[in-house]
Structure 1
Amino acid sequence: MGTRHVAPVGVLLAATAFLGAPAQAGARAPGTPAGTAPGAAPGTSPGIAALPGTGSQAAGTGSRGAGPSGTGPLGPNGAGEPVGGSRLGERGLIVPSGVKAPPKTAARAYVIADAGTGAVLAAKDAHGRYLPASTLKALTALTLIPRLDKSRKVTPSRRAVNEEGSAVGLVPKPLYTVEDLFKALLLVSGNDSAMALAEANGGLTATLADMNAEARRLQAFDTVARTPSGLDKPGQSSSAYDLALIARAGLANPDFRRYISLKTDKFPAPKGYYEIGNHNKLLWRYKGMIGVKNGWTSKAQGSFVGAARRNGHTIIVSIMRHDGYFWDEVADLLDWGFANRGRVTPVGRLVDPAPAVTPSPIAPATPAPPAVPAPVAATDPPGAARPAGGNVPIGYYVLGAGLLGGLAWLAYGLRRRFR
């Protein structure tokens, strides 16, 4: 090979060595298999994220599975002790020491509480999650009463009119006010009224979102609403503890309290009106009964949450999953509550609603100064690329390669000449 060929070959080899090296910011970590995208877990195909595990547990058997957002009997994200106190996490009967246990009941779960102080006087499987049936309508009412104008006229849809189960007998005509629908919801447990109220609130999806947000506000973390009526649906649940929380919050609302206390009322009809009567039997025969809500489906069985007031004190009793006639048993539990309130050490407490979060005032944003492009060295060739993470233009590498090749050619030529 002649001397004149050495310089071009040297320049070519040097330039190839310098320019062939990759310049990338996201180099693969040691031990990561080839073909894995930067930042992806080993073995994960590019563009496919690993999905978190999912699972569900049906309510109705006293399940303790986590609810939405990881909630459960331990509160948000399963942190800390059970809501209301550590003893309320127990599954069996929880009774204060030194007193006789409450009368027996066939209910799978119950809570006896003092509405005024929030003291839980006795309980059984307080946080067990069961199907709530129509006791869920107490949450529907508590959620929607502040949101809807009670004098507003409503025309129920065909879907609302045809809801299955208990109904007040709506027709798709503008005969009803929102207040009429609340009365039908809480007196005769109208599933058609529940759907009509949901439609008046912007639709089923919006109403369920509002109901679940209200449950979170009350810290009723065992409660998940999937229908406004309480008709059984997968994933729907509540607990005896949560029903007591909901009832206590409802008693503080004058309209809620007025509706649940009505024994009878007149309901609009295409030709006049007809009379409706409250399904809560204790309103008719238990001294001091304020009311709230009962429920039943074949899957949920019997459920009830109610409140009564005597001698300036209000007792709340909630029961879930009772397989028969429960009215006398509820009356006995109320009697036990009145006899023992103020005399026993509570086994837990009904927590207050979570405080509202007030957003901090946001200062007006200061406009950022315009970005000034970084100066480019005069020796950079136009459009020269820079390696990620470095500031040296590739043009410098090319220039260096050429110089090295030239020096090699000069040295070789001088050596041949002196020989």
Structure 2
Amino acid sequence: MKHVAPVGVLLAATAFLGVPAYAEKAPVGGNELGERGIIAPTGVKAPPKTAAKSYVIADADTGEVLAAKDPHGRYLPASTLKALTALTLIPKLDKSRKVKPSSRAVNEEGSAVGLVSKPIYTVEDLFKALMLVSGNDCAMALAEANGGLTETLKDMNAEAKRLQALDTVAKTPSGLDKPGQSSSAYDLALIARAGLANADFRRYISTKTDKFPAPKGYYEIGNHNKLLWRYKGMIGVKNGWTSKAMGSFVGAAKRNGHTVIVSIMRHDGYFWDDVADLLDWGFATRGKITPVGRLVDPLPAAAPMPTGPTTPPATPPSPAPRPGSTGAAPASGDGSPAAVPVGLYVLGAGLLGGGIWLVYGMRRRSR
């Protein structure tokens, strides 16, 4: 008995830390999705083999995960992270706004569309080049248009949390490798599904070729997603590659009124055929099997704070002080009575209980 902590102390610690005692968090989307190997339904042909370390095949219409492999494994996302960049910034930026990229944006390393520091680009031009040719320079220019890199990363990570893409941590808007940055095949599927519901996002990712502004005229750019050119019903989304992340891809295709999403991560070779095979399996299987999990819905958006002048609520009359009291309550920083968090009451009760238990134990020893 003397080695067991008092219940009051355990309850106090639970309230203070804000987590349930002894609780284990279930994987987002279902318990089966916590497995690291291949997760497939029974009664049908197994999903095709792929060199990808992680993948998800999902029905975009119902959110059902049809099959997966290490779906919550955290890997470097490379340029697939640009899907989150676009999804985050499209609602925030006026697509007709003119942008003059900084020298930092113009000189961003890696894949680029070839920006110059002149105000010849609209936000829409930058989004197109971001998603078609994976312009890292465009990612930085869009971040600057959104108030800077710090603000944009804050917004991206907030959007990931809203989507419940909890494996995703954005450290760059471009997806260039950086310590601590991560995503998962499950999260990429969530991001793609949310993006498909946005008309501008869908238009950008499905564009095959477009004209991009130049100091004198324009030049043509083409989408790097090879399946847009050769897979029937391909809508698009984003592919990526770096030497550390290796190959990654998230995409969606529509056939016979149904949309299937496939995401892969850490593929060490030519992945386009693998993705096509996984899509084929998804179309052949959807609606015929018990799903192994589900793409969860985004959390509801927080209610906007009032921006105009408001009439303050009437202040209720203060109750008369009890006999023997001073009639005063502890004040907060604005002069109003301060509320004491319930957790502090629990913590105090727990510590008091622990002290009594300790004194009781010492008295027993002295006897």
TM-score (norm 2): 0.78
- Residue 301 of structure 1 pairs with residue 250 of structure 2: no
Please give the residue correspondences for 1:269-418 in structure 2 after superposition, counting only pairs within 5 Å: 269-358=214-303, 364=313, 366=315
Post-superposition Cα deviations, 1:51-77, rounded to whole Å, max 9, x if no partner, equal xxxxxxxxxxxxxxxxxx99xxxxxx9
Candidates 164, 179, 185, aligned match of 2:130: 185
- In the alignment, the residues of structure 1 paired with residue 69 and residue 55 of structure 2 have an alpha-carbon distance, to the nearest angstrom, of 5
Moved more, 155-164 or 356-365: 356-365
Structure 2 segments unaligned to the other structure (5+ residues): 1-17, 325-367
Post-superposition Cα deviations, 1:297-332, rounded to whole Å, max 9, x if no partner, equal 000000000000000000000000000100000000
**Secondary structure, aligned partner of 1:245:** helix
Task: State the AA in 2 paired with 1:296.
Answer: W
- In the alignment, the residues of structure 2 paired with residue 359 and residue 158 of structure 1 have an alpha-carbon distance, to the nearest angstrom, of 35
- Residue 104 of structure 1 pairs with residue 53 of structure 2: no
Candidates 18, 23, 32, aligned match of 1:87: 32
Please give the residue correspondences for 1:190-229 in structure 2 after superposition, counting only pairs within 5 Å: 190-229=135-174
**Secondary structure, aligned partner of 1:356:** coil
- Residue 240 of structure 1 pairs with residue 191 of structure 2: no
Identical aligned residues as a percent? 84
- In the alignment, the residues of structure 2 paired with residue 284 and residue 319 of structure 1 have an alpha-carbon distance, to the nearest angstrom, of 19
Give the root-mean-square deviation of aligned CA atoms: 2.4
Task: State the AA in 1 paired with 2:234.
Answer: M
Report what 1:135 is aligned to.
80
- Residue 166 of structure 1 pairs with residue 98 of structure 2: no
Query: Between Structure 1 and Structure 2, whose CA radius of gyration is higher?
Result: 1
Task: State the AA in 2 paired with 1:174.
Answer: P
Task: State the AA in 2 paired with 1:272.
Answer: G
Post-superposition Cα deviations, 1:317-365, rounded to whole Å, max 9, x if no partner, equal 0000000100000000000000000001000000000122438999726
Flag the structure with more relative contact order, 1 or 2, with Cα contacts below 8 A and sequence separation at least 6.
2
Please give the residue correspondences for 1:41-120 in structure 2 after superposition, counting only pairs within 5 Å: 80-120=25-65
Distance 1:316 1:360, change over 3 A: same
- In the alignment, the residues of structure 2 paired with residue 101 and residue 292 of structure 1 have an alpha-carbon distance, to the nearest angstrom, of 25
- In the alignment, the residues of structure 1 paired with residue 258 and residue 202 of structure 2 have an alpha-carbon distance, to the nearest angstrom, of 15
Post-superposition Cα deviations, 1:157-190, rounded to whole Å, max 9, x if no partner, equal 0000000000000000001000000000000000
- In the alignment, the residues of structure 2 paired with residue 360 and residue 328 of structure 1 have an alpha-carbon distance, to the nearest angstrom, of 48
- In the alignment, the residues of structure 2 paired with residue 188 and residue 78 of structure 1 have an alpha-carbon distance, to the nearest angstrom, of 45
- In the alignment, the residues of structure 2 paired with residue 120 and residue 276 of structure 1 have an alpha-carbon distance, to the nearest angstrom, of 34
**Secondary structure, aligned partner of 2:28:** coil
- In the alignment, the residues of structure 1 paired with residue 109 and residue 82 of structure 2 have an alpha-carbon distance, to the nearest angstrom, of 15
Task: State the AA in 2 paired with 1:161.
Answer: V
Task: State the AA in 1 paired with 2:48.
Answer: P
- In the alignment, the residues of structure 2 paired with residue 321 and residue 357 of structure 1 have an alpha-carbon distance, to the nearest angstrom, of 35
Q: By how many angstroms is 1:108 displaced?
A: 0.1
- In the alignment, the residues of structure 2 paired with residue 100 and residue 153 of structure 1 have an alpha-carbon distance, to the nearest angstrom, of 52
Candidates 67, 92, 101, aligned match of 1:122: 67
Distance 1:167 1:78, change over 3 A: farther
Distance 1:365 1:223, change over 3 A: farther
**Secondary structure, aligned partner of 1:156:** coil
Report what 1:157 is aligned to.
102
- In the alignment, the residues of structure 1 paired with residue 189 and residue 236 of structure 2 have an alpha-carbon distance, to the nearest angstrom, of 13
Q: By how many angstroms is 1:367 displaced?
A: 7.5
Structure 1 segments unaligned to the other structure (5+ residues): 1-68, 71-76, 376-419
Post-superposition Cα deviations, 1:81-120, rounded to whole Å, max 9, x if no partner, equal 2100000000000000111111100000000000000000
Distance 1:203 1:368, change over 3 A: farther
Task: State the AA in 2 paired with 1:278.
Answer: N
